[in-house]
Amino acid sequence: MLYRQMGRSGVQVSILGFGCMRLPLLDRNANDAAVFDPNQPVDEVTTTAMIRHAIDNGINYFDTAYGYHGGKSEILLGNALKGYRERILLATKLPVWLVQTKEDFDRFLDEQLCKLNTSYLDFYLLHGLNRSTWPKAKALGVLGFLDQIRSDGRVKYAGFSFHDDVNLFKEIVDAYDWTMCMIQYNFFDEHYQAGRDGLRYATSKGLGVVAMEPLRGGRLTNRLPKEVQEIWNSAHMRRTPAEWAFRWVWNHPEVSIAISGMSEMEQLVENLRIVKNITTPYLAHDEQELFRRVTDCYAKMLKVGCTRCGYCLPCPAGIDIPMNFSLYNDTFLYKDAGIPFMIYNHMLASERRASNCSACGQCEPRCPQEIPIINELKNVHNHLSR
């Protein structure tokens, strides 16, 4: 196992982390469901075996959150860590969108410590910060709360996970003495949300960076388009799509950890095989060229040629135009509308959806790709709405 330093903390973390959002389910068919169902019962026996096998094989960073698996993930992880707690670094997240009063900060943290069977957390993250949750949390005094819990010993290091644009990301990085942050980062999403610019900015400020979705929820490894698989097959070194994707993330020295949500023991064993075969994570020049060919291949399959440049923003109606196009494109790239449907209808605020378009036309003259945005937003809503 290779280890890297988590920002300025000096703490050494395994480059492969264990994410507890997609734990194995008792109904094995549900593990492959397009839309993750938090009400499905988790296979606790297999979960415990996987977590302990991961620790015994060098993984020392474990990540969970208040809402994962309908609130059961923290309990399951806490049970599995009995006798193992001091061997690992434990991270969970504050559900900032549920906080209504300043007192809620302490209430949630104390509940989480109880569920995890621990007196302290190594890392505590503000979960999923964006343009709506960040101002609210700040106004309620969350930064003072982070000072307090670091001082009283309940938390060693503070961080945040992020889902919004890079300008807001930089604002948050500069707002507090963070130890680390978590961003979505993989070869397909190199310039998505915080992206490469945010990655480099965070590390320039001394933060460690955890890359979530290194396999894009399995979409970079499962049911690949034939054209993409043929490119991987052309490489002089035969590797699985998962190994290529992990190696791309680890090729960035700014990344401290690639966090993987594993729902089967076989996936854990495979990921451990990948990381143990790596003596140096860096890619040769010809290997980097493979990724350009793969991303170009995916780009040709896009329904809307949006590059996420953001020139169309801000939208007067509040629509997140690039996000809507990204969800729409994913249904064609992966021949699966399940996850985009869930995000569009249940996770994206109503004012940010394509359905909120007033056809004012301000966006279209600003689009470098000359996309007929108004018409394409209608297509997005017709394709993804209930």
Which DSSP string do the residues of 9-24 spell out, in sequence order?
A: G--EEESEEEE-SSPP
Cβ neighbours for 237, distance < 8 A, ≥ 6 positions apart? 287
Residue 310 domain flag: no
Q: Do 261 and 373 belong to one domain?
A: no
CA angle 270, 246, 54 (to 5 degrees): 40
Domain boundary among 267, 289, 311: 289
Residue 354 domain flag: yes
Q: Do 344 and 232 belong to one domain?
A: no
Nearest to 176 by CA among 151, 157, 193, 195: 157
- Both tokens assigned to 295: 């991303």
Instruction: Tell me the average pLDDT across 149-165.
Output: 95
- In sequence order, what E strands does the chain have? 3-5, 12-14, 16-19, 61-63, 89-94, 121-129, 155-162, 180-184, 208-212, 255-261
The reported pTM is 0.81
Distance spanning both ends of the chain, measured CA to CA: 45
At residue 36, the pLDDT reads: 54
Q: Do 71 and 10 belong to one domain?
A: yes
Residue 30 domain flag: yes
Q: Do 129 and 21 belong to one domain?
A: yes
pLDDT at 160 over 80: yes
Residue with more model confidence, 29 or 113: 113
pLDDT at 348 over 90: no
Residue 50 domain flag: yes
- Both tokens assigned to 45: 């026996």
Q: Do 43 and 159 belong to one domain?
A: yes
Residue 304 domain flag: no
Residue 126, beta-bridge partner list: 94, 160
Nearest to 125 by CA among 139, 140, 107, 112: 112
**Alpha-carbon gap, residue 78 to 91, rounded angstroms:** 11
Domain boundary among 269, 289, 309: 289
CB 329 within 8 A of CB 356: no
281 confidence band (pLDDT: 50, 70, 90)? low
Q: Do 197 and 280 belong to one domain?
A: yes
**Alpha-carbon gap, residue 204 to 199, rounded angstroms:** 9
Q: Do 271 and 339 belong to one domain?
A: no
Percentage of the chain surpassing pLDDT 90?
A: 68
**CATH assignment of the domain containing 201:** 3.20.20.100
Residue 295 domain flag: no
32 confidence band (pLDDT: 50, 70, 90)? low
pLDDT at 123 over 70: yes
Q: Do 28 and 73 belong to one domain?
A: yes
Which residue range(s) make up the domain with 98?
3-289
Nearest to 92 by CA among 34, 5, 158, 143: 158
Nearest to 105 by CA among 119, 90, 124: 124
Domain boundary among 241, 266, 289: 289
**Alpha-carbon gap, residue 120 to 152, rounded angstroms:** 10
Q: Per the structure, how many domains does the chain have?
A: 2
At residue 211, the pLDDT reads: 97
Residue 143 domain flag: yes
Q: Do 202 and 258 belong to one domain?
A: yes
pLDDT, tens digit (0-9, with 9 covering 90-100), for 364-373? 988 867 899 9
Residue 302 domain flag: no
pLDDT, tens digit (0-9, with 9 covering 90-100), for 5-14? 999 999 999 9
Q: Do 94 and 194 belong to one domain?
A: yes
Q: Do 145 and 251 belong to one domain?
A: yes
Q: Do 332 and 207 belong to one domain?
A: no
